[in-house]
Amino acid sequence: MKLEDLSREELIALIKKYEAKKKYGLVWEDEKTRENFESKSSLFIPLLSEVKKQRIVSDPKLKPNYLIEGDNYFALSILRYSHFESIDFIYIDPPYNTGNKDFKYNDIFVDKEDTFRHSKWLDFMNKRLRIAKDLLTREGVIFVSIGDDELANLKLLMDSIFGESNFVELFVWNKTQTPPSLSKKSRSNVEYILCYERNRNSKRYFGKPSSNSDAPLINKGNSKRILKFPAKSIAFKIQDGLYKPKKLQGIKILKQFKVSGGFNVDEVELEAEFKWTQENLNEELTKGTTLIVKSNKFSIRYKKPDSSVADMVPNKLIDSNFGVGTNEEGSSLLINMGFSFSFPKPVSLIKFLINMITHDNKEAKVLDFFAGSGTTGHAVLELNKEDSGNRSFILVTNNEENICTEITYPRLKKVIEGYKNSKGESVETLGGNLSFFKTKFLRKSLSNDEMKIMVTENCVDLLCFKEGIFDEVFSNDSFTVFKNENYILGIYFSYDNSELKHLKKELNKFTKIQKKAYIFTFDKAGLNSNDFLDWDGISVEPIPQKILDVLGGLYA
């Protein structure tokens, strides 16, 4: 574009556009870095289609988890309709844009010599993070892993999207046990995790206590000593309602009495090699210290009561002191599961981050739209197993090099159902449910009414995804009814309303349970409430106008 070739009006418009741009902050070339789909996207509407044969249900009472195969921009756009402001926790591990074939833009790897290397990455991230913000609840939190190459740019970008005041912390993760000496200047053994809240609040984050805070009471170099302490200060194992002292060697029961079907020990003696005296121990007990005795070992550690632990905020540095492993741990786990994947994050890292935010919200919804090998889903299932939680996850990944179909889905299936590792050892099932979806596209029609009919006929899987209900209990040519443990869902997709009374009759067969019906209408204003006055106990919502509003004008 030559300025001398522009008209007066075009020059004025260009000057106004320039003056409207931010004078401070992040600026990148966005005119020459458009993604391929942007030129075609106005012709299509993205929807979801379930691969029903891949559905896994281990317990109908648990919430469904989702894996979506497709470009994450389209998947996020769909989530903006189905899960607007409903995600509690987002973690993503996007490409770091190192120039070493880790970031593919418009099907081509971006190398270090690319003039628009950083602009392409920023444009790519900007579109996705802006939608991600809309998905977070008002108290939602997002964590983004990143390396050195784009750290500064990402911080400025997230400041502009989420607001500088909503920045929480730049966590530093010790990523490797054996730092590689690839540079003459320094050893790179850390990565970064930016944390932002949707709206800054007073919520206290939870950090697991460092292993260094559990000071051992035993020193094998000292002589044996007998210490006495109240049994209520010990955490010990009770089986079948009976305390079995033989499980804890060296313990002598002095007094006991029956409580609630079991035995409560009043005072305990333990003979072992202590570095503490009875006086040291008594002093700790007055502070409210809790003692933990490990089975079949002369090993005692103390920790502060749960109320104090719950108040412990995490450190900026995340490492093995918090039970968080390295990349080597992540790779080793996948190899033992029979998969090969470069630089997977360890489950322990993602589990630590999720627990940091959701330790007091075990029904939380978790999203990862750069899901890769599926570590985030694995972490959610493992954390649920540990604390009896009912968190759910949505994972999104493309299927480049068959990653989704050959690694992500098979990995989740293995951990849900249990498997044998590379050594032939059985690994216990983590349980959980999983539904597998793919993005699909409808070409837009010139006729608005035709478009409404076409979207309605193809949105059943999307609505089931939105509501988390998949078991079909009735279907005909006009509507389908689905059911789960707590909910009944009716979808009326015919533009002829003659079967509405039949739908109402089918829904009313179910009592003492929540009921909802999505009903087709041509009217842009929605349904006439007077037509549903006698639909007691049934929530009614029109389709497909809202779907078209969100997805049809997506790329404006």
Q: Domain extents for the chain?
A: 47-208+313-437, 211-310, 442-552
pLDDT per residue, tens digit, the chain (556 aa), is 677 888 888 888 888 877 776 666 677 777 667 787 776 667 889 999 999 999 999 998 899 999 999 999 999 999 999 999 999 999 999 999 888 888 888 888 888 888 888 889 999 999 999 999 999 999 999 999 999 999 999 999 999 999 999 999 999 999 887 655 666 677 788 999 999 999 998 888 988 754 433 333 333 334 445 555 555 444 443 333 333 333 334 444 444 433 334 334 444 555 554 555 667 666 665 655 545 444 333 334 444 444 444 457 888 999 888 889 998 899 999 999 999 888 889 999 999 999 999 998 999 999 999 999 999 999 999 999 998 999 999 999 999 999 999 999 999 999 999 999 888 888 999 999 999 999 999 998 878 899 999 999 999 999 999 999 999 999 999 999 999 988 999 999 998 899 999 999 999 999 889 999 999 999 988 898 888 999 999 999 999 999 999 987 654 4
The answer to whether 268 and 228 have CB atoms below 8 angstroms apart is: yes
Pair of tokens at residue 511: 């009592």
Distance in angstroms (rounded) separating the CA atoms of residues 89 and 352: 12
Contacts of 372 (CB under 8 A, 6+ apart): 93, 341, 344, 397, 403, 408
Q: List % helix, strand, coil for the chain (3-state, nearest 5).
A: 35, 25, 40
| Residue 427 CB neighbours (<10 A) | 13
| 8-state DSSP, 552 | I
| Residue 423 CB neighbours (<10 A) | 6
Distance in angstroms (rounded) separating the CA atoms of residues 154 and 147: 10
Distance in angstroms (rounded) separating the CA atoms of residues 91 and 366: 8
Distance in angstroms (rounded) separating the CA atoms of residues 350 and 376: 6
The answer to whether 228 and 269 have CB atoms below 8 angstroms apart is: yes
Distance in angstroms (rounded) separating the CA atoms of residues 414 and 347: 15
- pTM of structure: 0.79
The number of helices, as runs of H, and strands, as runs of E, in the chain is 15, 30
Amino acid at 408: T
**Domain 47-208+313-437, second-level architecture:** 3-Layer(aba) Sandwich (3.40)
* Residue of 475, 471, 513, 505 whose CA lies nearest to 491: 475
